[in-house]
């Protein structure tokens, strides 16, 4: 009697395991191993993130932008000029991947 009971229990365990779906973790918490495109940030209060070269042969993740702020009319006018002056955007070059310079590139 005990043998049959054990066999039935094993079969029911297999069925339960077969029916389960694997949960995937968010990949955003992993290491930066290559340059990526701009995506939504996982950091609280930040809008964008991107993996960029760090200058030592590796990569680092940069978060920038203020979440909750709409950037309407950013391509012209006093608002753009003030932003670029406030962040000293004229000193950013193409090889600078700081959060400040990434924000300047968006503007």
Check: CB of residue 104 under 8 Å from CB of residue 65: no
Per-residue confidence (pLDDT) for residue 24, from 0 to 100: 55
Element (H, E) at 3: helix 2-19
| Digit-coded pLDDT (tens) for 71-81 | 666 667 888 88
| Digit-coded pLDDT (tens) for 73-103 | 666 788 888 888 999 999 998 888 899 998 8
Q: Rounded CA gap, 89 and 103, in Å?
A: 9
Better pLDDT: 22 or 34: 34
């Amino acid at each position: 009697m005990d043998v049959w009971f054990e066999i039935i229990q094993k079969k029911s365990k297999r069925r339960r395991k077969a029916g389960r779906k694997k949960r995937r973790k968010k990949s955003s918490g992993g290491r930066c191993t290559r340059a990526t495109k701009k995506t939504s940030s996982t950091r609280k209060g930040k809008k964008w993130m991107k993996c960029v070269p760090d200058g030592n042969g590796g990569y680092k993740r940069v978060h920038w932008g203020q979440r909750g702020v709409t950037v309407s009319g950013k391509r012209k006018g006093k608002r753009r000029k003030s932003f670029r002056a406030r962040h000293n955007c004229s000193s950013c070059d193409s090889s600078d991947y700081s959060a400040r310079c990434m924000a300047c590139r968006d503007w």
